A and B are shown apart, each in its own frame.
Chain A
């Protein structure tokens, strides 16, 4: 009895000890804590091509120019003292030369002073680094006229493959011993890489391979690939030494061999304090920041995969902002002391695509492979009436209302709202209409489709409930329209989906795109170009169509510097997307941002990196 009593007293005292950690009204007053999901892949600006890395690099590094406040169209100077334009003479009339006067007395985090040499080094390193699947293709396109540096080497020297000039075909190994290979690579650097950007006094001058309307977007803050790094420091870490005679050794390294993967030395408002991968990033204010120190002393970005845990942290004040999946918005709105901004226009959209030619080899997704009611032929979607039929069949507004909880809008074509070239012309939106869908399907394949029916699989990435819902809806309405139309929604692992995509075996598939930069050139080619990231996999019939009808317009739009004329060109492309029913442009999602009320200074710019509606920590305050 006595023992039990003592045990109870001990338990109470212990609990009191824990509860004696009383909660101040605002916890951690000098630290803003963001509860996110999915940590950064790398802190190397030239490696990172994911939003988590972009978010962190944004805080630690500066670029030459920045977007003006909430705008995605206007720029302000950053490490450059002026934003180049044709009017101020810093962009040449032919659009091939851009000049940036570099700001003086800007300090890197290690105390070094920024010089134009650092800018030039950063760009050249980006070009030669060019890792497979990385972001620096965005430099290669304007500065070299190709998507990657290997493509340029192959083009210049007439090779079959870049690896042909390496021993055992290993591009990460040694060049073949004959002197000519090394000489060729040095010459390549001197003739192409070295000439893309140069120092001229206190200015940096870019020489483009082609007129490139979105070039300033590529250089703007929010694009981690164009962050400016410290040349001397980078070389000291083991990065490329700036020389022509070994650049290929620093090209496309493996992650573990990248010396800048876990370190930083930017000029940005925050310094990296600690990175524990997949757990936490800790940033500390840089007091010598050239714009003046940030208002908040510390930032912690915590990576917490479980939604309930994040929500409870926001509720108790252990987190000041958090990532909220769409389906939980209404829950988070009810938390006292929390504000949720909803339906923030995102530069992203989700599209269901019709490949004009499907690879039939060993492809069970198209059933019998014939128009016999048990499958579809490989060129099923090459018939415009099929594409139009499905375009009329998707219940856009119902989907947006029920699945996207009203937090999405429609797009008529590949270019989302908020990007130049977007049009809200109602004539370009396919309405949801069973009658019109029926009329189109009856015309498809000379009437055979309606008579015989069809059967094929439609894919979504397992775990993505929104896309599952889109597939289910399409399948349901198809069945309602004609019981012989069997569309089987299947959720697959990403590995299966990717393989099927790359081998062009997918019938209708739904995929999304998030802006790299806010310009229509980042959208239209992707969804419509013959070499587009998505449209390039629509089969040869489509590629041929695109080469004739789409690519010339894309080229025009890219090189045209007058924004009014550009808008006309991209509207024409949207018209083609509509007339040809190239894809179902399902929706453009709205973003959300949830934070405690005591956080001030937050503003929304859709191009800010990070999860939907992230934050520019430089301006944030806590409790003020």
Chain B
């Protein structure tokens, strides 16, 4: 297994180089004047044509592609990811500020996604073609087909606008004041719920949780539908297996047949997919972040791509590619651990 892990990890720098080269290539196809748009949002800031030339020179927008890439590599080696025009801070700071926001949102969302998705998937499979199965499947299709921004706005409108229960943002103003400015509050992980517990501040913990409910509800509903379908399909397949028939024939009670024999085997593909879902969600839950004012990676990278902030885009690609490779590896390893029939080659 160790050699398998090493071989997979050795692929990481190759993949990262490939991804960054590709992105650099694409941006290089744009002329220096087009790339100038990242720095110039209004032509009146260019008082004369010399100003345009100076900006192009200042930001090396006319460097040939190989030179630009090599200079960028040199900076990366020194852990200098450059400046983000869209975040108005260094790319490193932008990622360290935004990644924990998205991570917190995703980690809390994935729990109901997995629990609800699996629960309903099993239920649906066990009651195959029943009214219950049909209801669950229809609900799943609605969740699958409903655009995130519509559902998110609906959640915001009902649970915040009308009921006033779950406000947008990460924290209330009073809590923000403490977290951001108080010397008594220490950010260890930048996951506010965890930090609040570590600081022993339960009101902030509860406030942060309260702000998480609506975006979690939005993300979960959209996502559990997919997991439900996979679980249902896998479960149906497992329930048709000979050993299940044998277990029933031996008089094992139905609850044990379903939850001890069938479910555990049916969940193997489901767990691998769940792992990949986490990684994909980390790559961008832009719409949810925008609606609920969660200043995470998704919104920032979408804006950066739109505004040709290639430094930010490349750095995000680096991060996401690394997560994908490592995530895939973890999923493959867990697959091998769960299913003894699987050999890592």
Footprint of B on A, CB under 8 Å? 15, 17-19, 21, 23, 27-28, 31, 33, 39-42, 49-50, 132-134, 137, 147-148, 150-151, 163, 171-172, 252, 254-256, 262, 273-274, 276-280, 282, 298, 300, 302, 304-306, 308-309, 312-313, 315-316, 318, 493-499, 501-503, 511, 513, 526, 531, 533-534, 536-537
Whether B54 contacts A150 by the Cβ 8 Å rule is yes
List of B residues within 8 angstroms of A171 by Cβ: 54, 57-58
Whether A533 contacts B88 by the Cβ 8 Å rule is no
Whether A278 contacts B167 by the Cβ 8 Å rule is no
List of B residues within 8 angstroms of A531 by Cβ: 48
List of B residues within 8 angstroms of A256 by Cβ: 82-83, 90
List of A residues within 8 angstroms of B35 by Cβ: 495
List of B residues within 8 angstroms of A255 by Cβ: 83, 85, 88
Whether A498 contacts B36 by the Cβ 8 Å rule is yes
Query: Of A42, A50, A280, A513, which one neighbours B176 at CB under 8 angstroms?
Result: A280
Contact sample, A vs B, 10 pairs, CB 8 Å cutoff: A21-B210, A27-B173, A171-B54, A273-B177, A277-B89, A313-B168, A318-B173, A495-B308, A498-B34, A533-B47
Which one of A21, A274, A280, A495 has the greatest number of beta carbons of chain B within 10 Å? A495
Q: B40 interface residue, CB < 8 Å from A?
A: yes
Whether A498 contacts B293 by the Cβ 8 Å rule is no
Whether B45 contacts A133 by the Cβ 8 Å rule is yes
Closest to B56 in A: A132
Secondary structure at the A interface, as helix, strand, loop or mixed, is: mixed
Complex Cα distance, B97 from A39, in Å, reads: 15
Whether B58 contacts A502 by the Cβ 8 Å rule is no
Given known A163-B57, A309-B293, A495-B34, contact A254–B83 (CB-CB < 8 A): yes
Binds A, one of B121-129, B157-165, B243-251, B332-340: B157-165
Complex Cα distance, B43 from A534, in Å, reads: 8
Closest to B291 in A: A306
Q: B174 interface residue, CB < 8 Å from A?
A: yes
Complex Cα distance, B45 from A163, in Å, reads: 21
Whether B156 contacts A132 by the Cβ 8 Å rule is no
Contact residues of B between 96 and 152, Cβ < 8 Å to A: 97
Whether B44 contacts A526 by the Cβ 8 Å rule is yes
Complex Cα distance, B164 from A27, in Å, reads: 13
Whether A276 contacts B90 by the Cβ 8 Å rule is no
Closest Cβ of chain A: how far from B85's Cβ, in Å?
8
Complex Cα distance, B48 from A282, in Å, reads: 37
List of A residues within 8 angstroms of B210 by Cβ: 18, 21
Closest to B290 in A: A306
Complex Cα distance, B210 from A279, in Å, reads: 19
List of B residues within 8 angstroms of A533 by Cβ: 43-44, 46-47
Given known A133-B55, A151-B50, A533-B46, contact A494–B37 (CB-CB < 8 A): yes
List of B residues within 8 angstroms of A304 by Cβ: 168, 293
Complex Cα distance, B177 from A280, in Å, reads: 11
List of B residues within 8 angstroms of A50 by Cβ: 41
Complex Cα distance, B166 from A300, in Å, reads: 20
Closest Cβ of chain A: how far from B175's Cβ, in Å?
11
List of B residues within 8 angstroms of A276 by Cβ: 97, 180, 295
Q: B221 interface residue, CB < 8 Å from A?
A: no
Given known A133-B45, A305-B290, A308-B291, contact A277–B88 (CB-CB < 8 A): yes
Closest Cβ of chain A: how far from B232's Cβ, in Å?
22
List of B residues within 8 angstroms of A49 by Cβ: 45
Q: B300 interface residue, CB < 8 Å from A?
A: yes
Q: B299 interface residue, CB < 8 Å from A?
A: yes
List of B residues within 8 angstroms of A39 by Cβ: 88
List of B residues within 8 angstroms of A308 by Cβ: 153, 156-157, 291
Complex Cα distance, B122 from A379, in Å, reads: 72
Contact residues of B between 200 and 230, Cβ < 8 Å to A: 206-207, 210, 213
Whether A148 contacts B43 by the Cβ 8 Å rule is no
Complex Cα distance, B176 from A280, in Å, reads: 10
Closest Cβ of chain B: how far from A529's Cβ, in Å?
11
Given known A132-B55, A282-B180, A499-B31, contact A31–B165 (CB-CB < 8 A): no
List of B residues within 8 angstroms of A262 by Cβ: 89
Number of A-B contacts (CB under 8 A): 170
Given contacts A274-B180, A499-B33, 19 further A-B contacts (CB under 8 A): A18-B210, A39-B88, A133-B39, A133-B40, A133-B46, A147-B48, A278-B295, A280-B180, A309-B293, A312-B168, A313-B168, A315-B161, A495-B36, A498-B40, A502-B49, A502-B52, A513-B44, A534-B44, A536-B48
Complex Cα distance, B254 from A130, in Å, reads: 78
Q: B30 interface residue, CB < 8 Å from A?
A: yes
Closest to A163 in B: B57
List of A residues within 8 angstroms of B83 by Cβ: 254-256
Whether A503 contacts B33 by the Cβ 8 Å rule is yes
Complex Cα distance, B179 from A282, in Å, reads: 12
Q: B51 interface residue, CB < 8 Å from A?
A: yes
Whether A312 contacts B41 by the Cβ 8 Å rule is no
Q: B181 interface residue, CB < 8 Å from A?
A: yes
Given known A305-B299, A526-B44, contact A15–B167 (CB-CB < 8 A): no
Complex Cα distance, B35 from A318, in Å, reads: 39
Complex Cα distance, B57 from A172, in Å, reads: 10
List of A residues within 8 angstroms of B31 by Cβ: 499
The 4 lowest CB-CB distance pairs between A and B, nearest first, are A495-B37, A499-B33, A533-B44, A495-B34
Whether A309 contacts B37 by the Cβ 8 Å rule is no
Whether A316 contacts B160 by the Cβ 8 Å rule is yes
Closest Cβ of chain A: how far from B54's Cβ, in Å?
5
List of A residues within 8 angstroms of B47 by Cβ: 137, 147-148, 533
Complex Cα distance, B37 from A499, in Å, reads: 8
Give per-residue flags for B287-302: 1 if the beta carbon is below 8 A from chain A beta carbons, else 0.
0001111010001100
Whether A316 contacts B164 by the Cβ 8 Å rule is yes
Closest to A280 in B: B176
Complex Cα distance, B40 from A540, in Å, reads: 24
Complex Cα distance, B55 from A316, in Å, reads: 45
Given known A132-B58, A316-B164, A502-B52, contact A278–B156 (CB-CB < 8 A): no
Closest Cβ of chain B: how far from A535's Cβ, in Å?
11
List of A residues within 8 angstroms of B292 by Cβ: 309
Q: B169 interface residue, CB < 8 Å from A?
A: yes
Q: B87 interface residue, CB < 8 Å from A?
A: yes
Query: Of B30, B165, B168, which one neighbours A18 at CB under 8 angstroms?
Result: B165
Complex Cα distance, B38 from A263, in Å, reads: 24
List of A residues within 8 angstroms of B268 by Cβ: none
Complex Cα distance, B166 from A316, in Å, reads: 11
Closest to B91 in A: A256
List of A residues within 8 angstroms of B156 by Cβ: 308-309, 312
Closest to A315 in B: B161
Complex Cα distance, B49 from A503, in Å, reads: 10
Whether B157 contacts A31 by the Cβ 8 Å rule is no
Closest Cβ of chain A: how far from B237's Cβ, in Å?
29
Q: B94 interface residue, CB < 8 Å from A?
A: yes
Complex Cα distance, B42 from A41, in Å, reads: 14
Complex Cα distance, B213 from A163, in Å, reads: 56
List of A residues within 8 angstroms of B87 by Cβ: 277-278
Closest Cβ of chain A: how far from B268's Cβ, in Å?
27
Whether B180 contacts A502 by the Cβ 8 Å rule is no
List of A residues within 8 angstroms of B40 by Cβ: 133, 498
Complex Cα distance, B166 from A493, in Å, reads: 36
Complex Cα distance, B160 from A23, in Å, reads: 12
List of B residues within 8 angstroms of A150 by Cβ: 50, 54
Whether A277 contacts B52 by the Cβ 8 Å rule is no
Closest to B206 in A: A17
Complex Cα distance, B51 from A148, in Å, reads: 9
Complex Cα distance, B173 from A28, in Å, reads: 7
Query: Of B33, B97, B165, which one neighbours A498 at CB under 8 angstroms?
Result: B33
List of A residues within 8 angstroms of B86 by Cβ: 278
Complex Cα distance, B41 from A49, in Å, reads: 10
Closest Cβ of chain B: how far from A5's Cβ, in Å?
18
List of B residues within 8 angstroms of A493 by Cβ: 37, 306
Closest Cβ of chain A: how far from B231's Cβ, in Å?
21
Closest Cβ of chain B: how far from A501's Cβ, in Å?
6
